Amino acid sequence: MDTRELTALLTPDGLRLLDEVGRIESTDDAARAVSRLRAAGHSPDLVSAVVGQARLRVRGAAKFGPFADRMLFTRAGLEQATRLSIAARHAGRFRAAGITRVADLGCGIGGDALGMAGLGLRVDAVDADEVTAAIAAYNLAPFDDAVTVAHARAEDVELDAVDAVWLDPARRTAGHSETRQVSSAEWSPSLEWVFALLRERSGGVKLGPGFDREQIPDDLEAQWISADGSTIELVLWSGALARENVRRAALVVRGDEAWELTAPADSPDAEPRELGTFVHEPDGAVIRARLIGEVARALEAGMLAPGMAYLTSDAALTSPFVSSFRVREQLPADPKKLSQALRARGIGTLEIKKRGVDVDPAVLRKKLSLRGEESATLILTRIGSRRLTLLADRV
């Protein structure tokens, strides 16, 4: 969305038209809507904005639920926005620390500010992109008594009135649709500026989960977060928001439930052991936080192989921090022999998991020619140079 489209949309008639159009879920639906609206005499800018927003609202429901039906988005802004459920957890951390007013520096379309305002915090939000700031102002309008939104650079914001800061540096090229990731040296605001601010103030900074661990300052708490099986972000916390004696944390969220593993430092891996009755795959947040050893010891498990993020045990234990599988048997790695073995067992539905092996699950699945009523999980990995193909069932 560009400035012309936004200007056309942000009028009573434009917003009313967007509500009338409703959900547009497919390319065919979009084409029909464009033809209908153009035939009705609406301008190209307004039609483009309305149809684009109607499609983005459908996609936005995954992050914002029913709230998406009254929000505006850019494609890039939606992709980078924090899920509302996770934003609410961040906001709860601010509130629990006694913080009442937060500067949201790089607010994007307003996802994190929505979570904060929804829990009663005052928010001073800014974004360096004019269109994005305008969209955030629209999305946050229901909280106009508690939230201000400005078009400004994070570095230029006066912070005397706030208790803490929240930062989400721009980690991609500028734009509202197609963007690409850039190195940390090109972030805005710069990583050096962000870390300097967090040394002075309580706050948090949202980063990608694959952020270089060597760049994490020793005095910040690093919390990796996964949601419904996907590792989505790393948050570094400072000051009153960093917990005492916690430097590594893995927060695992599934639906409305959440579990957290914390430690003062990286956890040493458990010792390797022979394949047992169970194989456990640690959650991505646990792997990123390097807390696999903590989980292994709780499960009375060892590493299936050094440096490989699979655990194995004989104890009938599991936890929210792993996906657990009961091993049926080892099968041959050769695709032809493997296919014969699976057909002999009547397996027609197969989940394929892999670590440490150069296998494309989609390509392998085609080669297997699965048939049958049974289902199972296939775990492909290696111990040293030896390939391991395990047939298993999810616990």
Q: What is the pLDDT of residues 14-50, one digit of tens each?
A: 999 999 998 899 999 999 999 999 999 999 999 999 9
Instruction: Look at residue 186 in the predicted model and tell me its pLDDT.
Output: 73
- Same domain? For 249 and 374 the reply is no
- Same domain? For 242 and 335 the reply is no
* 162 assigned to some structural domain: yes
At 169-226, the pLDDT tens digits run 976 556 555 556 666 677 889 999 999 999 999 999 999 999 999 999 999 999 999 9
- Residues near 197 by Cβ (< 8 Å), separated by ≥ 6? 165, 167, 203
* 113 assigned to some structural domain: yes
Instruction: Look at residue 348 in the predicted model and tell me its pLDDT.
Output: 96
Total of domains in the chain = 3
Alpha-carbon gap, residue 186 to 251, rounded angstroms:
29
* Domain stop point among 204, 232, 263: 263
* 316 assigned to some structural domain: no
Long-range contacts from 190-193, C-beta under 8 angstroms, 24+ separation: 191/215, 193/154, 193/155
- Same domain? For 118 and 53 the reply is no
- Same domain? For 118 and 239 the reply is yes
In 128-268, where do the E strands start and end? 147-151, 164-167, 203-207, 221-227, 230-238, 248-254, 257-263
Q: Nearest Cα to 205, choosing from 312, 82, 83?
A: 82
- Same domain? For 41 and 88 the reply is no
* Domain stop point among 64, 90, 110: 64
* 234 assigned to some structural domain: yes
Residue ranges in the chain whose pLDDT is less than 70: 171-184
Q: Nearest Cα to 237, choosing from 254, 273, 262, 268?
A: 262
- Same domain? For 215 and 151 the reply is yes
Alpha-carbon gap, residue 316 to 221, rounded angstroms:
33
Q: What DSSP character marks residue 204?
A: E
Q: Is 340 exposed, middle or buried (0-12, 13-18, 19+ CB in 10 A)?
A: middle
- Same domain? For 348 and 258 the reply is no
Question: Residue 393: which domain range?
Answer: 331-395
Q: Nearest Cα to 327, choosing from 395, 266, 245?
A: 395
At 117-130, the pLDDT tens digits run 999 999 999 999 99
Instruction: Look at residue 167 in the predicted model and tell me its pLDDT.
Output: 97
* Domain stop point among 241, 263, 285: 263
* 187 assigned to some structural domain: yes
* 185 assigned to some structural domain: yes
* 303 assigned to some structural domain: no
CATH number at residue 193: 3.40.50.150
* 290 assigned to some structural domain: no
Instruction: Look at residue 323 in the predicted model and tell me its pLDDT.
Output: 97
- Same domain? For 125 and 216 the reply is yes
- Same domain? For 140 and 216 the reply is yes
- Same domain? For 170 and 237 the reply is yes
Instruction: Look at residue 156 in the predicted model and tell me its pLDDT.
Output: 96
Instruction: Look at residue 292 in the predicted model and tell me its pLDDT.
Output: 97
- Token reading at 152: 């400004």
- Same domain? For 191 and 58 the reply is no
Report the Cα–Cα distance between both ends of the chain, in Å, rounded: 46
Give residue 229's region: left, alpha or beta (phi > 0; psi -120 to 50). Answer: left
In one-letter notation, the amino acid at residue 272 is: P
Instruction: Look at residue 73 in the predicted model and tell me its pLDDT.
Output: 95
DSSP string of 41-85? T--HHHHHHHHHHHHHHHHHHHHHGGGGGG----HHHHHHSPPHH
- Same domain? For 16 and 85 the reply is no
Taken as a whole, the chain contains a residue count of 395
Whether this prediction's pTM lies above 0.85 is answered by: yes
Instruction: Look at residue 23 in the predicted model and tell me its pLDDT.
Output: 86
